[in-house]
């Protein structure tokens, strides 16, 4: 039995309710230290920093926030805070902008005017958002915004910049691709494919997942060729969704599935001025708990064959059953049949394997099972 020690923790004040994907960890102010970003159902966006229980910054959004994220969504070389509501409002906040923060002695944001609570950019996208991801999904070195919806749809957007000024956010989100899946969208993840290029993966109910192909370049090329009457295209449509089923035994379509793309994403700068792995827990008593330095006792893995080899009676039993001790495959097969199909072993043992003393192998079944 293993025990987990949750000793180092801090409790943050939070008075609202939130959706599962309206909380994230990321470098919101571009100081190389991660903050905690939380959005509630009333449209409030809270940013927590270090071990202070009070929010470091609070912003107002339109609608119920269902997804929040931190990343270089505009591809300007700095992180922005992204908040998307269920009604489809996309908000961008630049917490490093000189006009958006006036820190006081305690390090909190003291807003000088009401308009400073507004986002630096807002745009309406399709409603019923459920989950969001900011990542490079097509391997071009630039981030895309991927949004999953409650109607089994996934959309990919790219920021189209209208200004060359890296400090000024001016542009809009442009739709790149829309995928329609067979099941609900539970989570989004980007993982390296067989050739090392990124693969966009969407978990599906029943321990399944789908790989979404980024085919917008090919579709644009096909559309251009289609407009040219002298070069008609006879190729079949590009398949953009590849469904996979995991090898698990539970394939219940009513069971949700979540993909974890990276274990190192749970980093927070709580103590010591450095990011460290942490666990964030939101309770029902208006508190958010951040645990760091979580200690887990190490458990060494064991091998049944090595355990049985240490039992001197195991060799005698193998000899009685006519199994060579050095034949690992035969020994594994015997143990497998004994553990999972004991009734077949007991039915076939008396006629096939009987020792000189007249003892059938049903006794050997009991002895082999003992070390477990």
C-alpha distances (whole Å) from 335 to each of 208, 346, 369, 372 are 31, 13, 9, 11
Q: How confident is the model at residue 131 (pLDDT cuts 50, 70, 90)?
A: very high
Tens-digit pLDDT profile for residues 180-208: 998 899 899 999 988 889 999 998 887 78
Question: Parallel, antiparallel, or unpaired: how do β-strands 198-204 and 188-192 relate?
Answer: antiparallel
**What is the distance between the alpha carbons of residues 34 and 318, in angstroms, rounded to a whole number?**
59
- What integer pLDDT is reported at residue 353 of this predicted model? 43
Q: What is the per-residue DSSP string for 124-176?
A: E--S-EEEEEEE-SSSSSS-EEEEEETTSEEEEEEEEE----TTS--EEEEEE
Mean per-residue pLDDT for 348-361? 45
Which position has the token pair 């609900």?
184
CA distance 132 to 259: 13
CB atoms within 10 A of CB 135: 19
What distances in angstroms separate CA 53 from CA 50, 281, 311, one per listed residue?
A: 9, 14, 57
pLDDT at 356 over 90: no
Whether 81 contacts 45, CB under 8 Å: yes
- Quick one: average pLDDT of 315-341? 88
pLDDT tens digits for range 212-258: 999 887 666 555 555 555 444 444 445 688 877 665 555 556 655 55
Q: What is the pLDDT of residues 274-302, one digit of tens each?
A: 898 888 988 888 889 998 877 766 667 77
pLDDT at 166: 66
- Banded pLDDT at 2 (limits 50, 70, 90): low
Options 2.40.128.630, 2.60.120.20, 3.30.70.2390, 3.30.420.60; CATH for 4-296 is 2.40.128.630
Confidence of residue 172 (pLDDT cuts 50, 70, 90): very high
The CA distance from 365 to 336, in Å, is 11
Q: If you ran DSSP here, which 8-state letter would residue 368 be given? A: H
User: Any idea where the domains of the chain sit in the sequence?
Assistant: 4-296, 304-369
Question: Greater confidence, 296 or 261?
Answer: 296
Through-space distance between the first and last CA atoms of the chain, rounded to whole angstroms:
15
Q: What is the mean pLDDT of residues 304-324?
A: 87
Residue 247, classified by CB atoms within 10 Å of its CB into exposed (0-12), middle (13-18) or buried (19+), is: exposed
Average of per-residue pLDDT across 144-157: 96
Q: Is the pLDDT of residue 157 over 50?
A: yes
Share of the chain above pLDDT 70, in %: 71
Tell me the pLDDT tens digit for each residue of 37-93: 999 999 999 999 998 999 999 999 999 999 999 999 999 999 999 999 999 999 999
Angle, helices 362-369/312-320, rounded to nearest 10 degrees: 150
């Amino acid at each position: 039995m293993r025990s987990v020690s949750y000793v180092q923790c801090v409790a943050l004040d939070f008075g609202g309710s939130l959706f599962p994907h309206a909380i994230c960890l990321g470098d919101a102010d571009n100081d190389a230290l991660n903050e905690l970003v939380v959005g509630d159902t009333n449209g409030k966006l809270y940013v927590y920093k270090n071990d202070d229980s009070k929010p470091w910054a609070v912003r107002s959004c339109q609608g119920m926030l269902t997804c929040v994220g931190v990343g270089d969504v505009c591809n300007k070389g700095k992180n922005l805070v992204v908040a998307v509501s269920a009604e489809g409002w996309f908000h961008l906040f630049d917490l490093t902008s000189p006009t958006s923060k006036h820190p006081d002695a305690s390090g909190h944001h003291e807003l000088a005017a009401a308009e400073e609570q507004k986002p630096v950019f807002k745009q309406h996208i399709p409603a019923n958002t459920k989950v969001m991801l900011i990542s490079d999904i097509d391997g071009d070195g630039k981030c895309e915004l991927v949004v999953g919806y409650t109607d089994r749809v996934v959309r990919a957007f790219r920021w189209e910049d209208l200004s060359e000024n890296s400090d000024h956010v001016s542009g809009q989100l442009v739709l790149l691709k829309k995928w329609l899946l067979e099941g609900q969208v539970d989570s989004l993840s980007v993982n390296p494919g067989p050739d090392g290029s990124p693969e966009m993966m969407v978990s599906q109910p029943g321990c399944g997942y789908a790989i979404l192909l980024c085919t917008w370049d090919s579709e644009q090329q096909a559309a251009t060729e289609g407009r040219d009457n002298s070069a008609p295209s006879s190729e079949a449509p590009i398949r953009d969704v590849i469904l996979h089923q995991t090898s698990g035994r539970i394939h219940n379509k009513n069971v949700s599935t979540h993909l974890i793309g990276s274990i190192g994403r749970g980093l927070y700068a709580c103590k010591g001025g450095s990011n460290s792995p942490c666990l964030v827990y939101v309770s029902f008593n208006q508190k958010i708990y951040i645990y760091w330095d979580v200690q887990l006792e190490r458990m060494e893995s064991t091998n049944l064959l090595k355990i049985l080899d240490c039992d001197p009676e195991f060799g005698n039993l193998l000899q009685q059953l006519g199994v060579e001790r050095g034949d690992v495959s035969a020994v594994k097969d015997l143990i497998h049949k004994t553990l999972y199909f004991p009734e077949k072993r007991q039915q076939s043992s008396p006629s096939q394997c009987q020792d000189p003393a007249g003892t059938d192998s049903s006794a050997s079944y009991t002895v082999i099972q003992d070390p477990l």
